Chain A
Amino acid sequence: MKKLIYMDTENRGFSVSRKSEKIKEIYLDNAATTKVDERVLKEMEKYHSEYYGNASSIHDKGEEAKSGLEKARKIIANSINASPEEIVFTSGGTESNNLAIKGIAFSNQNKKHIITTKIEHDCVLNACKWLEKQGWKITYLEVNSEGFVDVEQLKREINENTALVSIIHGNNEIGTVQDLESIGKICREKNILFHTDACQSYTKENLDVKKQNLDLVTLNAHKIHGPKGVGALYIRNGIKITPLAHGGGQEKGKRGGTENVPGVVGFAKAVEIASEKEVGKMKKLRDKIINGIEKIRGAKLNGSREKRLCNNINFVFKGIEGEAIVGYLNEHRICCSTGSACSSKSLEPSHVLLAIGLKPEEAHGSLRISLSKYTTKKEVEKLLKVLPMIIKKLRSISPFGGN
């Protein structure tokens, strides 16, 4: 039988993408990852080619590496008001979160209860779900429409079996920044360990382990213009934690494996470079974008307006789908992301958007724009020029586009 295949005879080509080959991309997906700062690269380079020793070796080459490693540890400890011996280097946010949650669970087998939230990063949620299968009880706290945890609910849920409270600091999707100080206070009063995932907020929001009563803090490098595959876990002195990786005694036995010295040194450099001035600049651009997008009909901001990460913008647009928005932006060489079902591997809408009360069909039309210190006013203006046209075009294709 003859195949019903359609052959395109017009050779119209790809007007947008072809024209834009020469246009530099506008990268607005910095919550996913960031460009590595050149100064970080330069610092890392030395530890790849010159100070390449194993930090555990006793000769001078080892000593060089060790000295870089310990200097980095100091810088990171200082940045959150901790002591160097309280910092354990890991392979990133995912490992740090796993170490915090499973490591504390394994060391507290008599307790069997953990409290977390419905808006955590997948690595926290999936570590908790795995513990559930091992017989742990996990409480997933609700959040309100802006994404804030209810501290009263937290108080009610804590019981004598609770081993750990784990609550994300700055949310990676909607940018909501939790009040760590009041949560920390409750946990300390009740003598419960408190862990926070600060991957998105690090160097952007205030982090002070003493003032905020933090027991464990997850940090990583690639969200702050450092290298991928490097992170840290702050573990307050005196807290017992079971390692995930047993090895040659590195990181005080809490994390085996030859230390990733170039990565760690790059991580510390990224922390040193980060400045409040950049945060102020990002905030300005963020608000410019929010104000601009709010003018589009049927656009609604997700998350909080005030307590919001300086680089996060998240909107839903009525009647259209997020992957299509991202696809059209991509044709204009603008990189963003979405929490729509169509874009996820599970084909389910973002759990964070559902947790703040969006219906699945609303979460469908979500767009996340995340800035960095490199984002310019010009780039923002281009976005604000292109996005309304894209929304209009997609609505003209949609049966629910309205007029």
Chain B
Amino acid sequence: MEYNKIVIKHFSHPKNVGEIKNADGIGKVGNPVCGDVMHVYIKIGKKKMKGKEKEFVKDIKFKTMGCAAAIATSSMITAIAKGKSLEDVEKITRNDVAESLGGLPPIKMHCSNLAADALREAIKNYRKKRGVKND
């Protein structure tokens, strides 16, 4: 296939597959281009990072129905996000995912949108929930 070895590896052995019960945030998005779907679940924790108490992604899981690139980008973005502060996670771009995978075929670049958008949705969902609870 036209994918590189890193993509194939994340496709055939995806990390962080599954769902999280009582997730703090859930992101569900569909790819308007091809009809693929990704769900992301996050659990948020708090810890001291660089001297400051920060929110971070304690756990993250995904479920994806999509092509090899969609599964690989899902796996990769969860691997990137896990353990990072929310601030940093929010800065993850579509390109970061594709780059970490060593590149995607041009026609498959849109698949990484799916992953980046789903993660962003999950964080939004978490913030919204927390907002409702706390404020």
Which A residues are closer than 8 A to B by beta carbons? 1, 3-6, 8, 12-17, 319-321, 323-324, 326-328, 330-331, 340-343, 345, 347, 349, 360-361, 364, 396-401
Q: Given contacts A5-B100, A321-B65, A324-B11, list 5 more A-B pairs with CB under 8 A.
A: A5-B96, A6-B79, A326-B1, A361-B35, A399-B38
Instruction: Assess the B34–A341 pair: CB atoms within 8 A.
Output: yes
Instruction: Assess the A397–B71 pair: CB atoms within 8 A.
Output: yes
Residues of chain A lying within 8 A (CB to CB) of residue B36: 321, 342, 364
Residues of chain B lying within 8 A (CB to CB) of residue A361: 35
Instruction: Assess the B67–A321 pair: CB atoms within 8 A.
Output: yes
Instruction: Assess the A6–B39 pair: CB atoms within 8 A.
Output: no
Residue of B13, B33, B70 near A12 (CB, 8 A) is: B13
For residue B14, give the distance in angstroms from its CB to the closest CB of chain A: 6
Residues of chain A lying within 8 A (CB to CB) of residue B107: 345, 347
For residue A403, give the distance in angstroms from its CB to the closest CB of chain B: 12
Instruction: Assess the B96–A4 pair: CB atoms within 8 A.
Output: yes
Residues of chain A lying within 8 A (CB to CB) of residue B99: 3, 5
Task: Give the distance in Å from the alpha carbon of A360 to the alpha carbon of B30 in the complex.
Answer: 14
Which B residues are closer than 8 A to A by beta carbons? 1, 3, 5-6, 8-9, 11-14, 17, 28, 33-39, 63-71, 76, 79-80, 84, 88, 91-93, 96, 99-100, 107, 110-111
Which residue of A is nearest B76, CB measured?
A: A6
For residue A390, give the distance in angstroms from its CB to the closest CB of chain B: 10
Task: Give the distance in Å from the alpha carbon of A196 to the alpha carbon of B129 in the complex.
Answer: 61
Instruction: Assess the B64–A360 pair: CB atoms within 8 A.
Output: no
Instruction: Assess the B79–A324 pair: CB atoms within 8 A.
Output: no
For residue A401, give the distance in angstroms from its CB to the closest CB of chain B: 8
Residue of A12, A345, A397 near B63 (CB, 8 A) is: A397
For residue B52, give the distance in angstroms from its CB to the closest CB of chain A: 16
Task: Give the distance in Å from the alpha carbon of A361 to the alpha carbon of B66 in the complex.
Answer: 11
Residue of A3, A328, A343, A345 near B96 (CB, 8 A) is: A3
Which residue of A is nearest B34, CB measured?
A: A341
Can you pick out 24 interface pairs between chain A and chain B where the beta carbons lie within 8 Å of each other? A3-B96, A4-B84, A5-B99, A6-B100, A8-B6, A14-B5, A17-B8, A17-B12, A319-B65, A321-B65, A324-B68, A327-B8, A327-B67, A327-B68, A330-B1, A342-B34, A342-B36, A342-B69, A347-B34, A360-B35, A397-B14, A399-B63, A400-B37, A401-B63
Residue of A5, A321, A327, A397 near B1 (CB, 8 A) is: A327
Task: Give the distance in Å from the alpha carbon of A361 to the alpha carbon of B30 in the complex.
Answer: 12
Task: Give the distance in Å from the alpha carbon of A361 to the alpha carbon of B91 in the complex.
Answer: 32
Instruction: Assess the A16–B12 pair: CB atoms within 8 A.
Output: yes
Whether A4 contacts B91 in the complex (CB less than 8 A), given A321-B67, A347-B33, A399-B65, comes out as yes
Instruction: Assess the B80–A340 pair: CB atoms within 8 A.
Output: no
Task: Give the distance in Å from the alpha carbon of A248 to the alpha carbon of B49 in the complex.
Answer: 80
